[in-house]
Amino acid sequence: MSSPFDAFITNDDEVVALLAQEWTRQTSTLQLIASENFASPAVMAATGSILTNKYAEGYPGRRYYGGNQVVDEIEDLARRRLTALFGADHANVQPHSGANANVAVYQALLAPGDTVLAMRLDQGGHLTHGSPVSITSKNWNFVSYGVTPRNDDPAAPGEMIDFDNVRDMALEHRPKMIVAGATAYARRIDPAPFREIADEVGALLMFDSAHVAGLIAGGSHPNPVPYADVVAFTTHKTLRGPRGGAILCREEHAKVIDMAVFPGQQGGPLEHAIAAKAVAFKEAAQPSFSTYTDQVVANARAFGEALSEEGFRMVSGGTENHMVLLDLREFDAELTGKVAQEVLDRAGVTTNRNTIPDDPRSAFITSGLRVGTAAETTAGLTEGDFAQVASLMARALRGREDESVIGQVRAEVAQICSSFNPYAAFTK
């Protein structure tokens, strides 16, 4: 089996063989990494297009190189589609990734050393929200807010963003910017209370919607654009486009944001990726995309409930987006996130280990596992299928010392994948 594009690589057997292996891996095992998806063949074709040849430093109408008549139209189309999709004043579609987009926002709107209030890394924040190993913590002074304490009463679940803590930290530290958004947080993030607190202390509000951009585009989650000064995100997670980033902002910030991306941080934009972003933005504007994102959320809810029935504890007691963050300790006190990820890999289920709030284990070992429904919902799985996946995961983890159990689960996983191949039409 091979992808529709491998046919173009006729002179490189080694790469063709590796692409075929990865094609088989992606379509015969379950992809449950919450930040991944299956881009459409149209998105992949644009990513592999002739635009990869073109240098286009600058912006449409203001390029430093000749020959950009067509490229200008491509980038303008991507910007128009993106501003329309989210109802924003201005879009920058050039960031090569979500991390680049975030750093460009900080560079545009902050002076070195300015204080930023963002979510704690070990409670769901991203590396670019001030991790000690990230350039962000070296250039700016990050302080953090966290989640409320664990509470097992289903009527008042804990482990949700603690807005009293956000406000107290904002009043104490008077940040120049507040960052909303997370990378491992299963609850809806309401932009309104963040805006209120930002206004109270005179801070800018940046919403990092890397994970949930697709859910917002589909109307399954609240749109932060009316509340935030800037919204930054990746285009390859729930938005289901090519690997990359984008920034939306109010008109008053447009010029500094554009300057920070180019020439502030990047050189020539990846116009092939920008064409693929344009394709993805059009796909996300279709009614069928809203059906997709509603199904992603419904699947996560069903998946979380089925995993709870197997004895896993959901952090925050539930999910309202595309992911479930599991605390493995209730299922098996000995089972670490690292071991669970490795066992599930052998059983054909791709996940990632993750810290959970107040995790007693290190970030390398962890007590948590993060799973998401965005990719396999694209492949066509619905609630009942995710319940089956939950029981397969539990079986593999309980029987992790027994290779025959792992083998049986792997065979059942392959059976599911053969019924739900996202690229079935292209599989020879």
Ligand X SMILES: *Cc1c(COP(=O)(O)O)cnc(C)c1O
Active site residue 55: yes
- Among 159, 208, 229, 271, the one annotated catalytic: 208
Instruction: Please give the residues from 100 up to 119 whose contact with ligand X meets the rule CB under 6 A.
Output: 102
**CB 190 → ligand X: shortest distance, Å?**
16
**Number of CB atoms found within 10 A of residue 36's CB:** 20
Q: Per CB under 6 A, does 35 bind ligand X?
A: yes
**Among residues 262 and 331, whose Cβ is nearest to ligand X?**
262
Q: How many residues bind ligand X (CB under 6 A)?
A: 15
- Among 29, 128, 136, 234, the one annotated catalytic: 234
Q: For residue 59, what are the β-bridge partners?
A: 62
For helices 337-346 and 383-398, the axis angle rounded to 10 degrees is 110
**Among residues 181 and 214, whose Cβ is nearest to ligand X?**
181
Task: State the Cα torsion 347-316-293-396 to the nearest 10°.
Answer: 10
According to DSSP, the β-strands at 313-314 and 115-119 are unpaired
DSSP 35: T
Please give the residue whose beta carbon sits closest to ligand X in the complex.
98
**Long-range contacts, stretch 284-292, CB < 8 angstroms, 24+ apart:** 284/85, 284/214, 284/217, 284/218, 284/239, 284/240, 284/241, 285/81, 285/84, 285/85, 285/217, 289/214, 289/217, 289/218, 290/218, 290/219, 290/220, 292/218, 292/377, 292/378
Active site residue 277: no
Q: Per CB under 6 A, does 211 bind ligand X?
A: yes
Q: Per CB under 6 A, does 37 bind ligand X?
A: no
**Among residues 208 and 412, whose Cβ is nearest to ligand X?**
208
Instruction: Please give the residues from 125 up to 144 whose contact with ligand X meets the rule CB under 6 A.
Output: 126, 128
Instruction: Please give the residues from 169 up to 198 whose contact with ligand X meets the rule CB under 6 A.
Output: 181-183
Q: Per CB under 6 A, does 359 bind ligand X?
A: no
**CB 276 → ligand X: shortest distance, Å?**
14
**CB 350 → ligand X: shortest distance, Å?**
17
Residue with tokens 């989210």: 86
Active site residue 338: no
Q: Which of 97, 115, 148, 290 binds ligand X (CB under 6 A)?
A: 97
Q: Which of 234, 319, 321, 378 binds ligand X (CB under 6 A)?
A: 234
According to DSSP, the β-strands at 58-59 and 30-31 are unpaired
Instruction: Assess contact for 369 and 341: CB atoms under 8 A.
Output: yes
- Among 6, 57, 196, 305, the one annotated catalytic: 57
- Among 6, 54, 55, 398, the one annotated catalytic: 55
Taking alpha carbons only, the member of 382, 376, 369, 387 closest to residue 421 is 376
Tokens matching residue 9? 């690589």
**CB 36 → ligand X: shortest distance, Å?**
10
Amino acid sitting at position 371: V
Active site residue 227: no
Q: Per CB under 6 A, does 208 bind ligand X?
A: yes
**Among residues 97 and 141, whose Cβ is nearest to ligand X?**
97
Q: Per CB under 6 A, does 34 bind ligand X?
A: no
Q: Per CB under 6 A, does 161 bind ligand X?
A: no
**CB 13 → ligand X: shortest distance, Å?**
31
Tokens matching residue 104? 């460009």
Question: Stretches 134-142, 203-211, 271-279, 364-372: which one binds ligand X (CB under 6 A)?
Answer: 203-211
Instruction: Assess contact for 80 and 279: CB atoms under 8 A.
Output: no
Rounded distance, CA 56 to CA 97, Å?
18
Question: Stretches 21-29, 57-65, 92-100, 323-331: which one binds ligand X (CB under 6 A)?
Answer: 92-100
Q: Per CB under 6 A, does 99 bind ligand X?
A: yes
Helix and strand element counts for the chain (H, E): 15, 15
Rounded distance, CA 158 to CA 189, Å?
14
Q: Per CB under 6 A, does 98 bind ligand X?
A: yes
Burial of 136 (0-12, 13-18, 19+ CB in 10 A): buried
Rounded distance, CA 418 to CA 348, Å?
13
Rounded distance, CA 302 to CA 291, Å?
16
**Among residues 44 and 182, whose Cβ is nearest to ligand X?**
182
Q: For residue 20, what are the β-bridge partners?
A: none
Residue ranges that bind ligand X, judged by CB under 6 A: 35, 97-99, 102, 126, 128, 181-183, 208, 210-211, 234, 245
**Residues labelled catalytic:** 55, 57, 208, 234, 237, 243
